[in-house]
A and B are shown apart, each in its own frame.
Chain A
Amino acid sequence: MAQRVRPTVLAAERVVPVSGMLEGLLPGGGLQRGSVTALDGPPGRGVTSLALHLIAATTAAGEWAAFIDLDGSVGGLAAAEAGAALDRTAVVRGVPPDRWAAVTASLVDGLTMVVAEVPSRCRASDARRLTARVRERDAVLVVTGAWPVEAALTLRAMGGAVTGAVGGEVDGGWSGLTPEGGLLEQRCLCVAIEHRGATRTVALAG
């Protein structure tokens, strides 16, 4: 009976709202629950920062998040600077490749958002099984690295220096540190958002 009288849930209500610098840029206003988002991009160009911002947006809404950190190097201070609630953020380290799928599935069962670095030899069958699990649990799985199947949404971090972005040319990248002196201050990060075949590029002021 409870099943039958349960109110209808619209797709727009099944979204983890994303605030901060990504606000208003993602399709639907946030990350769709029950879907897989892929983060992509060459190393050093802001993939980790983007992942930490997604964690920050989720934990700020009172949800729980986990980060599967394969080489044990994610910076806790950077997570705090991005605005993550550290007491609701778990970082899982030392995951052997053969247990990666089991660990990720366990985390998806209980946490709203799981950011997982994918080991290099992730099987497509594991990936499909995880996708089904995520849909069933209404969680959000964010994968970085070589995800062998298609994801609902792809965010590609491209550092600075991209032409033809929305709003004209962007001379992105780090500011503050110049050959004349100074220190790193902030970064203008270019992100390409791929959703249902369409791609658009936006610049995020960090």
Chain B
Amino acid sequence: MSAGSAERTCCVWCPDWPVVAWRQADDALIDRPVVVLEPAAGAPVVRAASIEARAEGVRAGLRRREAESRCPGLVAVDVDPLLEARAFEAVARAVESITPRLVLDRPGRCAFPTRGPARYFGGDEEVATQIMSAVETIGVADVRVGIADGAFPALLAARGPGPGATWVVPPGESAEFLASWPVGVLRLAGDTGPGSGVGSGVEESPDAAGALADLLVRLGMPTLGAFAALSESAVTGRFGRTGARAHRLARGLDEHPPALTRPPPDLTETAELDPPAQRLDVTAFAAKAMADRFSAALADRGLACTRVVVEAETEHGERLSRCWRHDGALDAPALAERVRWQLEGWFAAPPSRRSCARPRAAQDDAAFEESYEPSTAGIIMLRLVPDCVVPATGRQLGFWGGDPAAADRAARALARVQGLLGPGAVTTPVLQGGRSHDERVRWVPWGEPREPARPDRDARSGIDGDPAAGDAPTWPGRVPDPAPARVYEPPRPAELLDAQGRPVTVTGRGECPAPPAHLRSDVLPDGGGTIAAWAGPWPEDLRWWDRLTRRRRARWQILTDTGVAALVVLESGRAALEAVYD
């Protein structure tokens, strides 16, 4: 192997793994069009679609509603990384029966160097066939195998053939193989699975690779071959680190220059669990703290880890280990997530799959069984071993950053609470465009990018020549300021009555024949009271062009005689308390 060239690698890829995992868990989903949704800014989008749904034109990245309109009868399920990881553990074991040096990318994709197995089985084609049959034995129908020089060409080779086929790129021909692929595939190298937005913050996100690919197409380089023909220094000068990394990939080299030194052994992080941990959450919690220490120790030396081995030891003396890889570098949240996925696989491996996964060749059955009975005993030790480290290209702290130690402490405390209650329990508000007070705030789980789902102002209006127009709010009919300190979502039941004690109504023209006189609600002190002053009704007719989602509402700002101000909304004849100016 000459310096700079890539190690010969086999990539095993199960397309649409989220769908496969869900079908293994729930038989009712088999033979039906299924999509797996992941949360995105605003509405959930399709992460993976089954082949039936794809035939109807459903693609990853579509919004749920658009997917449903293209494919009637679509079943939508939510993304579940733990379920995917658990289901993929069976595949990992099947592949591991053939080669020990397995590296997991994410649930649904793994890779291993083929030098050893190819010599044992007598050629790359033989290895591919063995892998294929081993995985198909455990009941995974659609598996693709690609072998090439380097992880990225192997990944593309796995995508090349149709279902159930293999593609072996001859040694030394990776660059020619890559030349004809469109530059858009650079995006795949950064796609590291569900929740990648949380963990991949250290280097660059898949979006950066995607933006680069778009730019290259506009510059007249539609294929990787055209991009690879540029000089390396020119690419680095023009596109920076993202470009240099993509250029290495396009030329068929490994993403990082090969590491010349082994990682120092004292970076290994070990935690002993006493009493032995029988449950996933206990172990995952310990792993989270370990991941933080591990990352801090690496950062002290100016290193970042791209491959890590997760090892566990059980009470019965069994040792389990698995290697995870990440494009870019593993930071602490990404690392903790992978350890959690792995523990989930070990703790909850279904016995039926385990017996199916028994290897038919190469290894001793008894040894295999012995090494894979982890769920019989608690885990007494966890260890994180850096397998491949690269110099950290660094993360610049904010210039006005304040006290970085305080920020670290706060982040740790909030992460601990997220560990106790779930990630969605700790949120932070982001202001965005909208009319009512609940629409104007998006609650983002802590640690996720703070991005509004709707713009607050129209970005285009500033360009049209009138500079003042850039400041104009583009949400006419907003509920006026000040903002209420309590916003109920959904609104709490309330009664809005006129002087005769009848419910207040609003006509189709937005007029109120009898003005409101009393407001009653359990949320208010003393159950409400007489109305001293009011403003309204403010009618609101939303999406009148769409029969199904149309909403008609009217709002009042109300001040009771006890001095409590509230916002009351009337919809389809029922009044509700939307907010209290507490």
> Could you tell me which A residues sit within 8 Å of B by CB distance?
42-49, 52, 62-64, 66, 72-81, 86-95, 99, 102-103, 106-107, 109-112, 159-161, 173-174, 177-179, 181-187, 206
Contact = CB atoms under 8 A, between A and B. Distances in A.
Contacts of A173: 563
The list of the 6 closest CB pairs from A to B, nearest first, reads: A110-B413, A76-B429, A76-B441, A77-B483, A48-B485, A44-B564
B532 A179 contact: yes
B535 A177 contact: yes
Contacts of A43: 523-525, 580, 582
A43 B437 CA distance: 20
A187 B407 CA distance: 34
A107 B484 contact: no
| Main DSSP-derived SS at the B contact region | mixed
Interface stretch (B106-114, B186-194, B325-333, B414-422): B414-422
Given A44-B580, A92-B417, A103-B420, 17 more contacts: A43-B523, A43-B580, A44-B525, A48-B486, A72-B489, A73-B488, A78-B484, A81-B481, A88-B410, A90-B414, A91-B426, A91-B429, A95-B425, A107-B414, A177-B534, A184-B557, A206-B482
B72 interface: no
B95 to A, nearest CB: 40
A38 B158 CA distance: 62
Interface string B543-576: 0000000000000010100111110000000000
A177 B557 contact: yes
Contacts of B5: none
Contacts of B425: 92-95
A86 B450 CA distance: 10
30 contacts: A44-B524, A47-B582, A62-B402, A62-B406, A73-B486, A73-B487, A76-B431, A77-B429, A78-B482, A90-B428, A91-B429, A91-B443, A92-B425, A92-B426, A94-B421, A94-B424, A94-B425, A95-B421, A95-B425, A103-B421, A111-B414, A159-B562, A173-B563, A174-B563, A174-B565, A177-B534, A177-B535, A179-B533, A184-B559, A184-B581
Interface in B503-532: 523-525, 532
A110 B535 CA distance: 44
Contacts of B413: 106-107, 109-111
Nearest to A104: B417
Contact of A86 (B406, B409, B417, B429): B429
B535 A64 contact: no
A80 B481 CA distance: 12
A2 B335 CA distance: 35
A76 B563 contact: no
B40 interface: no
Contact of B410 (A45, A64, A75): A64
Nearest to B412: A110
Contacts of B582: 43-49
Contacts of B566: 44
A79 B535 CA distance: 24
A182 B563 CA distance: 16
